[in-house]
Structure 1
Amino acid sequence: MKLEVKKIGNSTGLILPKELLVKLGLKPGDELHVVPDAAGGVRLTPYDPDFERSMALVDEIMDEYRDTLKELAK
């Protein structure tokens, strides 16, 4: 899919076609995250990569302290 950079009022932006919005599950007001890729380009995603990294860290901590967390939950 090819998108054109356009002048929108005093700003510059991209108009996302309806089919792309549906594919990404986006609606007005939602956020897109720009993630650099290995080829020097970018990837647009509705998923926050920082949140994913935080959740991975939480998983590691929960695994490491599983017994402690069980005792605290009592």
Structure 2
Amino acid sequence: MFELKVRKVGKSLGVVLPQEVIANLNIKEGAALYLTESPGGGYQLVPYAPEFEQKLKKAEDIMNRYRATLHVLAQ
């Protein structure tokens, strides 16, 4: 667990991420982060869009089920 300090940034508020968190998230300056609501009422900060991950899993499922058909169509 990391304690983050909330600071004023212009007219907004922001937090500064420790180097260890930046390394673990594998992010660079300007990267997008997504704050998602957790089932227990908390929040989770992730470096990917959860909706995109769900769509990608569905696409992979479709590609696996119709692999032969897609192979024929690709020719």
When normalised by structure 2's length, the TM-score is 0.84
What residue ranges of structure 2 are gaps of 5+ in the alignment?
none
Q: Describe the superposition over 1:43-72 as per-residue Cα deviations: whole angstroms up to 9, x where unpaired.
A: 101122122111111012213322221211
Calculate percent identity across the aligned residue pairs: 39
Give the ranges of 4+ consecutive aligned residues of structure 1 lying more than 6 Å apart after TM superposition: none
2:16 corresponds to: 15
CA distance in 2, matches of 1:2, 1:63: 43
When normalised by structure 1's length, the TM-score is 0.85
Q: Describe the superposition over 1:21-51 as per-residue Cα deviations: whole angstroms up to 9, x where unpaired.
A: 1221111011111121121111101122122
Please show how residues 1-74 of structure 1 align to structure 2 within 5 Å.
Answer: 1-74=2-75
